[in-house]
Each structure stands twice: as structure tokens, then as C-alpha cells.
Structure 1
């Protein structure tokens, strides 16, 4: 019995346990200190929409600084069909959309004309740049207030959108909605509504404004068209 009690006492002592009998409490115990109240988190900053005029000025500054552009795009057509590829821009006037298979289109602007080439049918349609809805984006100096009619400007936490109208496009009046990232104010999407009311949406990804595209990408020649059919 004594050995058992001794073993229990040693084990409790080595473990740093409290004694088996509680110590008497003091006659006048000190009051417990009040627990500190946790600090309230700082309130989130309320969203302040961008002034429409400031949004237009930021858009002009972005386009005029983006002399070169290389990136990826995803296009959703009027029928909901999705296609994707590479986009190349060299302002003023030069643009190229390279659609990845199974799409067979290639769109090239050489500074004067825009060629829409279908590799499957070996046909091409050529238009003046002035007839295309995105012509103002290819100008040497972009001024949205001067180049197109501004219909609406919206500033929201997720995007800044500028809706413009162009009455000089092929077939009649087109509307173009430009969508910008509000943090960096870079163009991330546009949506074109043609004179018949059909909508095409293009989203941009992996945009590089520092590299200059190969000038040969913007040539509209018969040799180039024949080579794409090989």
C-alpha cells in the first residue's frame, strides 16, 4: 500500500500535477481582471464609381499607349459558338486575328484594308478599315469623344464599361461595348452589336504590350493567301 501511494506521489510530482488536496483559498481573493474586448475590424472601403469623363480619359490613355499588342482571345459568336486564337496589333492600322482549329478564319488589317480569309473555302472578303466597327481602335491617336458617339459609361466594382455607337460601319450603325479592368484599366473585353442586332463578344487574355509583332503578319497578298491553303 505504501509503495503504491509513493509511486502515485512520485508520478504526480514528475508530471508537475497539482497536489491531491487543494490549497485553501485566501481570505480576501483579488477580483479577476476583466477580459479585454477584441478590437473591431476596420470597415471595408465603400465603392466609389469612376467619373464618366475620367473613365473616357483613362480609356483614351490606354489605347494611345498600347502601340503594340500580342495576346490570346476567346470569341463567342451570335450563335453561341466559341472560337479562340491569337491577336496581334500594331497601331496605327494593323491588326491580325489568327483563329485556332477547327475555325478556318483569318482576319488581317494592313493599315488600309481588312481582309477576312476563310482557309476552308479559299475565299476572302476585303473591306476598307473605315467600314469596320473597331477602326477607331487602330487610329494613330484615339479620342472616343471625337471618334464615336458615347452612349453610356458604367463604373462598377468588377468592370468599367463604355458603350459607343458608330454609324459609319458596313451595313449601318454598330454598337461597341468596351470593358476595362477597373484596377489596372486595361481592356479585357469588347462586344460588337452589328446593324442586324447580332452580338459578338471577344475576351482578351495574356496581353503583352511590350513586344512588337512581326510586320509580315499584317500583309494582305495573294501569295500569303495561297500559302495558308497548303
Structure 2
């Protein structure tokens, strides 16, 4: 399937998701409302669709356990796993094997969502806020590490829900993650055990 068709399908899926999730009269969310929602999102899991810079699309399950922990488990035919824990992001490609990639969580704007205390009102963090009649979009960056890029987050209201984010890195490349409904369930700490995953990868 060509890039344009993939993007069209992704946009249609997102639009349908947003439309079914919205109340009759949506209102723009405040930064305080969004910060409170993210701080309250302690443990959750759900489906995600990832649209990469080259137009390729991946799907899988995301597990979140704030602060500081997230797991992206990709569906076949991919055999990738991305985890964040203890301040590090680990990227494993079980298909290729070999040593995993690793870098500090602070070097990705996703750290804003996973912070112990999310405060979008702090100076120089939010670069823009918009409302299209259905969803509130917030563009943010770590004011101490602006060189690592930004994250564009899309939220619906009543109740507040995170629906999508786009991460743009320092080179201008972007990765979009569209979320299904996040189930607020207790996620096991074992899912973020990096050593266990590395041991599996070496078998």
C-alpha cells in the first residue's frame, strides 16, 4: 500500500475514534486540566498504531506505569520491543538480535508525559495550544532540553483522554502514535524488567 493510502487510512481511523469519543459540545481543555489528567494516569494499557517517518505503520500494545515507565510491544510480523525504565530507553529487535540500543529517557520529549509531576504551565514548556472544535492539541518541549525536539499531544474531553502524540526530533523527523482507549488497570512491574528482556533476547 502506498504512503498516501496509508496516511489516509490512519487519518480516517483517528477521525472516527475522535468522533465516537466526543460529547455533543466539546470545549477547549486548559493546561491545568491536561496536567491533572496526566498526573492521574498512573497505570494503563491499550492498543496503539504507530506511523513512522517513512510512512510505514506498526501496531501493538502500550503499557504505561508512571513515573518513568512505558513499554511498546509490537505485533507480528515485527519483533521489536521498546521499554523505558530507570531513566533509560531500551530498543530491542528480536528479529535481528545483537546488542540493544539504549539512550537516556531525558533525550526524548516522551519524558514530559512520564515525569513524576507533569506541569505544563511551567515557563517555556508549552509552545502552542489549539482547539479544532473536537480536540485540544498541545505542543510542548522540555525547556531544559529543547534540542531534543518536541511532542504534540492531542486530547479529547468529557472525560479527558490522550488520543495521539507526534514526536519531532532534532532533525525534524516525526513519529506519530495513535492510541486506542487506555484501560486504567494495574500493570505488572515485571513488564518493565529490562534485564529479563535482555536475557530472553540472548537465548
Q: What range describes the TM-score normalised by the shorter chain of this pair?
A: 0.7 to 0.9
Q: Displaced runs of 4+ in structure 1, greater than 4 A?
A: 46-49, 167-170
Question: Does 1:72 find its partner at 2:47?
Answer: yes
Query: Which one has the largest radius of gyration?
Result: 1
State TM-score, norm by structure 1. 0.71
Deviation of residue 214 (structure 1)? 1.2
Partners of 1:229 and 1:134 in 2: CA distance: 28
Q: Indicate the residue corresponding to 1:115 in structure 2.
A: 90
Is 1:226 matched up with 2:202?
no
Cα distance in 2 between the residues matched to 1:148 and 1:89: 26
Q: 1:153 aligns with which of 120, 124, 129?
A: 129
What are the equivalent positions in structure 2 for 1:54-65 lying under 5 Å apart? 55-65=30-40
d(CA) in 2 for partners of 1:84, 1:228: 21
CA distance in 2, matches of 1:173, 1:227: 31
Preserved contact between residue 70 and residue 84 of structure 2 (Cα < 8 Å): yes
Higher relative contact order (CA 8 A, sep 6+): 2
> 2:199 & 2:103 partners in 1: Cα distance?
19
Q: TM-score, normalised by structure 2?
A: 0.80
Q: Deviation of residue 69 (structure 1)?
A: 1.0
Distance in 2 between residues matched to 1:200 and 1:48, nearest whole Å: 27
Question: Which residues of structure 2 form unaligned runs of 5+?
Answer: 1-23
Q: CA RMSD in A?
A: 2.2
* 1:106-135 residue CA offsets vs partner (Å, 9 max, x unmatched): 111123211111112223111122122211
* 1:116-171 deviations in Å (ceiling 9; x for gaps): 1111222311112212221121122110122862111112222110011336559x
Tell me, which stretches of 5 or more residues in structure 1 are unaligned? 1-45
